[in-house]
Structure 1
Amino acid sequence: MQPQNQAPVSNPNDTQTSTGGCCNIGPTPTPVIFLFVTLLMTTSATAMLCAAIMTDHWEHVTWDRTSLDKLANESSTHNLHWLLDGRVARLPIKKHGDRGGVFLVPMHGGIWTLCIDLTEHDMRLLGRVGFPHVAPCINYLAGTMENARGEEQRNDWQHRMQNLSISCSLVCLIILGSAALVGAFGVCQRQISAILVTGVMYLLAALFALFTLMIIHFKRQQGRPLLDSDFDGTVDGLVAVRGAAKAAQNLLGARVFTTSWSLDLGWGGVVLCSITSILWILLSKIMRYNPFSALMI
């Protein structure tokens, strides 16, 4: 006869199962957090790099008044007239009399644009003394850089560098757009290969953006003499009628070229794109060894 007060024998497997059931909280959310950080960094890098490329404040062109007055005094033919509180100088030309001539104005330029840094009101005031009717901005892609002979003035160093920077920036924009599509496909369809390709594409975008930045930085290393056929507004800092810009040839040494905030955005975009590339590559590794498909369903 068995004792009535004998306690039931517990099964060790039952204890382990119960303990495991209590401590099992599901898959770790780390992959999802990493995915969220990757997408956030991707959006920031893409927006910053696109904003840098599309804006037109990569460099500013100004005139050093002290140097300009000194150069003008060295030539007996130069008699500068300062306008708009010293922001604009007018170099009269004899055949134009008291109106017209060469106007030395501040400008700001981008990868494919060059804009006069004056308001419409300022340009109307200058029009009273013969300021030419020119477009506020010149687009290098619009074919406005052709002279009267129909020949492109892009054989010198600066225009070649301008063409290279335009090409690299366009390639960068194409890569960014393609990377966004490939990355969205990889995340939605859980395709590890597509996510890895996205990381490589962002690395290529950063590389071409770096090329653009370096070209913009070094394009001012060489120059060329002005020609009689120079078109209106195509010379940095000068606005004049056709053929008149050559009169200011010896004043170009007073120009000051400074980089501006678009270039800083470009450098920030390059850094963020490089970090984004690393994050996408790491994301492909995480998906390979620690799938988060269950967390996304």
Structure 2
Amino acid sequence: MEAQTTTPQTECECGVHPSVFYLLATLLLTSCSTAMLCAAMMTEHWEHVAWERAALAALANTSNTVLHWLLDEKVAKVEEANNRKGVGTFLVPMNGGIWTMCVSLEEEEARILSRAGFPQEPLCTNYLANSDDEEPRADWQHRMQNLSISCALVCLIVLGSAALVGAFGVCKHQISAVLVTGVMYLLAGLFAMFTLMIIHFKRIQRVSTRSSQGDDTADGVVGPRSAALLLLSAREFTTSWSLELGWGGVALATTTSLLWILLSKIMRYNPISTMIL
């Protein structure tokens, strides 16, 4: 009877430590939350300015103005009834970010409107630019705009610093740096939430002052603003997808913060080198 030779089975030591999957999940969620917050802060779709056509027509009928709709009724040109050959004022849709307000028109559309007297000027207004020629904004709008810009800038600075500290903590196995990264992402989410709340209350304030003409800014108006003062109540302010992206980024940043704090606890007993090996 032939003797069966048995070969000892060696266990495969090429397995991956479960903590590695946790580390990868933390890094993935960190990248997603950072990208969402940065995109929300840098994009220009926090707020949309539009004009309600029915209300605009009704107000024009009761005032000494004439409306001319252009670009498939996307833009309205306002002229005084006794001076129809004047320069006129344009009521345009706009989209705004934390520190910018841009006309929602393509360059080709702006060139077409220039034939009707549309002024050749930059399509975006930067709130950070120090220009004395711009229309003065109300005090409450100045305060809220400056607060939102400050909170957004702090959020971006904290996100950049957290990325550097987190990379250093993981690469050099510095548990304290990993813990600090978790705290910094919590701070970034907190300042992002402050920005979102300021924009939210700014919109509520605009809605509440709409009927009383309290919001007399030039948002949505290109040209002499005096011709459109009686039509401002037909202007509508609505929030857009950047605000929703920001709330999603806040939720992910809070979750990311908890993951980094827990990662610092895991690294006390499972160094990164042993996880990978």
Same fold by TM-score, threshold 0.5 exceeded? Answer: yes
Amino acid at match of 1:91: V
Distance 1:174 1:96 in 2: 52
**For residues 96-245 of structure 1, what are the structure 2 equivalents within 5 Å?**
97-144=84-131, 146-147=132-133, 153-220=136-203, 221-222=205-206, 224=214, 226=216, 235-240=218-223, 244-245=224-225
Shift of 1:169: 0.5
Shift of 1:121: 1.7
Alignment length (residue pairs): 263
Offset from partner CA, 1:160-192 (integer Å, 9 cap, x none): 211111111000000000000100110011111
Decide whether the 8 Å contact of 2:170 with 2:272 is kept in 1: no
Shift of 1:99: 4.0
Distance 1:225 1:54 in 2: 25
Distance 1:98 1:257 in 2: 31
Distance 2:83 2:108 in 1: 23
Q: Does 1:73 align with 2:53?
A: no
Distance 2:184 2:263 in 1: 14
Q: Does 1:289 align with 2:269?
A: yes
Decide whether the 8 Å contact of 1:49 with 1:270 is kept in 2: yes
Distance 2:215 2:175 in 1: 55
Offset from partner CA, 1:33-83 (integer Å, 9 cap, x none): 1111101110111111101111101111111100111111122x1211111
Distance 1:73 1:154 in 2: 28
Decide whether the 8 Å contact of 2:44 with 2:242 is kept in 1: yes
Extract unaligned runs of 5+ from structure 2. 1-8
What is the TM-score normalised by the length of structure 2? 0.87
Distance 1:39 1:95 in 2: 66
Offset from partner CA, 1:234-285 (integer Å, 9 cap, x none): 7111001xxx202211211111111111111111111110110000000011
Amino acid at match of 1:70: A
Distance 2:144 2:114 in 1: 33
Offset from partner CA, 1:207-250 (integer Å, 9 cap, x none): 00001111111113046464xxxxxxx7111001xxx2022112
Which residue in 1 is equivalent to 2:246? Answer: 266
Query: Residues 193, 174 of structure 1: CA spacing in aligned structure 2 closer, same or farther, 3 A cutoff?
Result: same
Q: Which of 52, 55, 65 is the aligned partner of 1:64?
A: 52
Which residue in 1 is equivalent to 2:230? Answer: 250
Distance 1:126 1:285 in 2: 62
Which residue in 2 is equivalent to 1:45? Answer: 33
Which residue in 1 is equivalent to 2:3? Answer: none
Amino acid at match of 1:162: Q
What secondary structure, in the 3-state scheme, does the structure 2 residue paired with 1:166 have? helix
Q: Does 1:279 align with 2:243?
A: no
Query: Residues 28, 127 of structure 1: CA spacing in aligned structure 2 closer, same or farther, 3 A cutoff?
Result: closer
Distance 2:238 2:105 in 1: 17
Amino acid at match of 1:250: L
The alignment's C-alpha RMSD in Å is 2.4
What is the TM-score normalised by the length of structure 1? 0.82
Extract unaligned runs of 5+ from structure 1. 1-20, 227-233
What secondary structure, in the 3-state scheme, does the structure 2 residue paired with 1:62 have? strand
Decide whether the 8 Å contact of 2:38 with 2:156 is kept in 1: yes
Shift of 1:292: 3.7
Distance 1:38 1:44 in 2: 10
Decide whether the 8 Å contact of 2:159 with 2:184 is kept in 1: yes
